[in-house]
Amino acid sequence: MKRFLPQPRPALLPRDAGGERWLCVVVAVLCFLACLAAVGVASADRAAHGWTRQLRAEATVQVRPRVGETGAAAAARAAETLSGVDGVTEAEAMDRKTAEDLLRPWLGEAVLPDLPLPYLVIVRLDRHTPASAPTLSRALAEAGLDASVDDHSLWRGEVERAATLITLLAGAAFALIALAAGAAVAYATRAGLAAQRGVIETLSLNGASDRAISALFQRRYGLLAATAGAIGAVGAALLIVFMRGLGGSEGLTPALPIAWRDLILLSPCPLLAATVAVISAHLSAMRALAAPRRDRDQ
C-alpha cells in the first residue's frame, strides 16, 4: 500500500541542524521581552501624558475670608463666581471633611480637629480652552474676594520633565532589547549556516546557483525566525491580556495604564524577526559561497 502513496521529498537541509530548536527558543524569549518593552513604552508615555493633562485640567484657589464672613461662605461664593467664567467646567468648594481626609494619611487623627485648614476651591478647566490664572484672579477680584490662584504652573514643568524622562528611559530599554533580539536572530542564522557549510558546498558543487542556495536558507531561517517571533508575541499578548483583566479599567495600575490597543504593537514582531533573519541568511550564505572561490583564486 505504501508503494502507491506519494512519498514526501527529503529535505535538502537536515532537520534541526545547528541546534535550531534552541535558537528558536532564544529568539522567542527575546521577542517576548521586546514586545513587553514596546507595551511598556506605550504605557509609560500614556501615563506621562495623563499626569500633564491632569495638571493642566485643574487649578486650586485659596480663599481668605473677609471680616464678618465665614471661610465656608467665602469659598462657596468663590466657587459660584468661578463657575460662570469661560474655560471653567466646574468649581467646587472643598469642605473640611474632604480636606481632613486628604491630610489624615500624613498627619494622623490627633492633630486634625485643632488644625486650621485653608479654604480651598477646586477648579476643573476646559481641556480645549482652559481659563488662565490671570482670568480667574480677575474674576475673583471683581467679585470682591481675597483669593490666590494656583494653576500648578510652578511645578508642572518639573512633572513634564520627569514624564519625558520616564518615556525616554522606557524607549531606551525597548531599543536595547529590540537590538538584542535582532542580534540574536542574526547570530542564530549565521550559526546555523556555519553548521551547514558542508551542505552549502555540496549544493554548489552539484550545480545549484548561488541565488537558489541563498533562497533555500533564507526561507528556512525566515520561517524559523517568524515562528519564534510569533511565539514571543503571542506569549506577550497573553500576559498583557492577563494584566489588563487583573487591573480592571485602569490597566495594571494607574501609574502604568495598559490599554487593549497595545496589542496592535505586537503584530509586527514576527515580520521584523523574519526580515532580520532573511537578510542575515542572504549575507551569510553569499559569504560562505564566496569563500571557496577566493581560496581557489589565491
Kindly list the domain boundaries of the chain, sorted by start residue.
14-49+164-292, 53-157
Least confident of 20-24, 211-215, 287-291: 287-291
Least confident of 133-147, 238-252, 254-268: 238-252
pTM (predicted TM-score): 0.67
Which has more pLDDT, 227 or 171? 227
pLDDT at 248: 58
**pLDDT of 17 over the 70 cut:** no
**Interatomic CA distance for residues 86 and 150, integer angstroms:** 17
DSSP letter string over 137-185? HHHHHHTT-EEEEE-SHHHHHHHHHHHHHHHHHHHHHHHHHHHHHHHHH
pLDDT at 294: 56
User: Are the C-beta atoms of 188 and 27 separated by less than 8 Å?
Assistant: yes
How, if at all, do strands 119-125 and 58-64 pair?
Answer: antiparallel
**pLDDT of 1 over the 60 cut:** no
**pLDDT of 276 over the 50 cut:** yes
pLDDT at 233: 93
- Could you tell me which CATH number the domain at 53-157 has? 3.30.70.100
- Cell numbers 537536515: residue: 14
- For residue 92, the surrounding DSSP H or E stretch is strand 88-93
pLDDT at 14: 53
